[in-house]
Amino acid sequence: MKHSRVWQAVLACVILASLVLSSCAAPATPTPAPATKAPVATTAPVATAAPTAANPASITIAYSGYATSNDYWNGLGKAAAAEAAAKGVKFVDLTTETQDASAQKQAIDTVITQKPSAIIIGSVDPNVFKDTIAKAKAAGIPILAADTAIDDPYISALVQTDNLATAQALGDYICKLLNGAKGTALVMAGTVGHQTGDARQKGVADKLAACGENVIKQYGDWDENKSVQISTDTMTANPDLNVIFAPFDPGAAAVASLVKQKGMTSKIMVFGIDGLPVMFKAIKAGDSVATMKQDNVRIGTETVDDAIAILNGQPVKTPDLIPGILIDKTNVGKYLP
Amino acid sequence: MTTLATRFKKVQLAPQVRDILPPLVGLVLITAVIGILAPTFRQWAAIANVFENASILFIMATGMTVALIANCLDLSVGSTYALVSVVTGQLLINQVPVPLAVLGGLVAGILCGVVNGLIVTQTGIPALIATLGTQLAFRGVANMIGAAVDMSRFPPEFDILGSGTWGPVINCIIAFGVVWFFLNKTKLGFHAFAIGGNEEVARLAGIPVNRNKIIYYAICGLMAGLAGIVYTARVDMAAVNRGQGMELWAIAGVVVGGTSLVGGVGSVVKTIIGVLIISVLQAGMIHLHVPSFWQQVATGALIIVAVWLDFLQRKTRA
């Protein structure tokens, strides 16, 4: 009996510790990528040991994205594969089904032994590649970063969304829609400390505060249900709530559905970032106002183009910051299947 | 006067009331303090939000209550929740009628539970390890079915299951009713306490322990599945990577209410109180405009204090 109580206490402590850790854990489905720690060079670090004017048929590009189960990354990987096919180079996709930093690193370490011409990494965790990069450097294989910066001088190019500028552009758009009206805005981030979510929150929050909104900041943990929970409570606590921003489209679409259920669509405007079909449908139905589409197709395409350019000894622009595309009811039809 | 005193004494001594009193007092105190400090919390809409937001966790926690009472730890419920969500979502986007899609989802949940039960009882692998394995496996199956597929904007007759306050609350009442009846009015439910209290003694008493454990896991899977369906209807979309970490919150809700982590003791009424304590605190923090970081600290501290108080109470009684 006494032992069982001790075990009970130990098990309780383990679970509590797990809960605390899980609240700090990686996002359930983080769509995109840290915007910080990007290399500051504006042009060209041409890859070391790059062959000159390589024959496309002799080029093999290995690519490892965040996860194939993620719509955004799935689109980015497909665009990269399509561009490689169009340019006549071989493309090896190493992306795992779900985000797994350790599996990603192992896959890249393995592919280095097969000596591809270049490697493109859309990293799950950009901090785990120190020895991987050293191995690639020793083998003379250039590495490019797609969407997420990897803080290492050997990285030959970075192509990514400018999250802060994209969010600021959305903030300006919201201020224009508010047209001087004042109220409270709920501006959510992702998980605590996630740079992408933080940049998106900051971009929108700063602009809304500048145009007179009372801004409430919360963390939705990249989770639709938590975003909805926070929104319901904030709506009750702040009767003048007129804007809700979620930093990912599934969350924004879920919140838009809630706002519709409460009959508040005419009073509360809902916005997201990502550019996913779920949000396009919400915008078309009038439940949500707008989203910023990350140009994942362009990121995938340009990263492959940069890899080929580097292998041919040509300079490339880095970091190559791709702006987001505003999608509202005026242009959503173009993006719906 | 004497009659009144006698009645009061009876109420005081009733073990069911005595059991739920500490967490209930905690819930009332937390609600009262938040109500005093945050005027916006003193309105029906705020209370309705608490019930609405607690619903999914509560439904999952009812199944976890059965599992924990029978000492059948299940760490796979978060993955079952995601799997059922994508199974139901796939059926709905393929124009399967809503009742059949819901039934399909619930059957998937039950199957997950049965798989857990079979692994634990037939291989002898500890439940912690077995359900950690199935947690990964079920998540993998969910990915196979629903990765990178847009499953959203379902028919209104499905959305009503999770919409507004009444959709989720009615599902909670159903989950509560089923589990309460199972635990209190059936032989299988009675056996759950016996198995959780001492499995070997239960076996010697002629209780079919293995068969029963499979049923307890199946109920846990069923409730995780129902929670997944209510979630899918509430956010009007299905996605593969949802429910991560929910098993821990479900266990926390059950334990904060006073159900034992090592089996043999507990009730679904306690689980209601435990889940409401967590939900009231989270909502209250928003009404009080407490920064997000402090919300996490406060929730963590509350769980520790609740479990500690329960531990002390049991120690005193023993």
Cβ under 8 Å to A: B residues 224-283: 231, 234-237, 239-242, 244-245, 248-249, 251-252, 255, 260-262, 282-283
Given a cut of 70, whether residue A28 has pLDDT beyond it is: no
Classify B271 as helix, strand or coil. helix
Residue recorded with tokens 């705020």? B46
Torsion sign, CA atoms A67, A73, A75, A81: negative
Q: Name, in order, each residue with C-beta under 8 angstroms of B185's C-beta and a sequence gap of 6 or more.
A: none
Cβ under 8 Å to B: A residues 56-95: 68-71, 74
What is the least distance, in Å, from the CA of A65 to any CA of chain B? 14
Q: Which domains are assigned to chain A?
A: 56-161+296-323 (3.40.50.2300), 163-293+328-335 (3.40.50.2300)
Find the residue in A nearest to B239 (Cα): A250
Direct distance between the N- and C-terminal alpha carbons of chain B, in angstroms, rounded to an integer: 34
Write out pLDDT tens, residues B24-40: 988 999 999 999 999 88
Across B201-220, average pLDDT: 96
Q: What is the 3-state secondary structure (H, E, C) of A24-49?
A: CCCCCCCCCCCCCCCCCCCECCCCCC
Do the beta carbons of residue A184 and residue A212 sit within 8 Å?
no
CB-CB neighbors (< 8 A) of A5 in chain B: 311, 314-315, 318
Q: Is residue A218 within 8 angstroms of chain B, CB to CB?
A: yes
Whether A15 and B293 lie within 8 Å, measured CB to CB: no
Do the beta carbons of residue A319 and residue A149 sit within 8 Å?
yes
pLDDT band at A49; cut points 50, 70, 90: very low
Given a cut of 60, whether residue A35 has pLDDT beyond it is: no
Write out pLDDT tens, residues B120-139: 999 999 999 999 999 999 99
Residue A42's Cα: distance from chain center in Å?
22
Write out pLDDT tens, residues B43-100: 888 898 899 889 999 999 999 999 999 999 999 999 999 999 999 999 999 999 999 9
Across A173-192, average pLDDT: 93
- The rounded distance, in Å, linking the Cα atoms of A272 and B152 is 16
Cβ under 8 Å to A: B residues 9-38: 38
Residue among B50, B81, B248, B296 with most chain A CBs within 10 A, to mutate: B248
Q: Sheet containing A155-161: which strands, arranged edge to edge?
A: A90-93, A60-64, A118-121, A143-146, A155-161, A320-322
Q: Which of A98-112, A296-310, B19-33 has the highest mean pLDDT?
A: A296-310
Q: Please give the pLDDT value at position A151.
A: 86
Average pLDDT over chain A reads: 84
What is the least distance, in Å, from the CA of B48 to any CA of chain A? 10
φ, ψ dihedrals at A269, nearest 5°: -95, 135
Across B193-206, average pLDDT: 94
Smallest Cβ distance to B235: which of A25, A230, A254? A254
Q: What is the ipTM of this complex?
A: 0.73
Given a cut of 70, whether residue B168 has pLDDT beyond it is: yes
Across B273-291, average pLDDT: 88
Of B119, B213, B314, nearest in space to A7 by CA: B314
Whether A19 and B300 lie within 8 Å, measured CB to CB: yes
Write out pLDDT tens, residues A75-101: 899 999 999 999 999 999 999 877 778
Degrees, nearest 5: CA angle B39-B45-B51: 110
Residue B78 gets the label, from left (phi > 0), alpha (psi -120 to 50) or beta, of alpha
Given a cut of 70, whether residue A32 has pLDDT beyond it is: no
Average pLDDT over chain B reads: 89
- The rounded distance, in Å, linking the Cα atoms of A270 and A289 is 6
E strands, A139-183, where? 143-146, 155-161
Do the beta carbons of residue B238 and residue B231 sit within 8 Å?
no
What does the longest C-alpha to C-alpha distance in chain A come to? 76
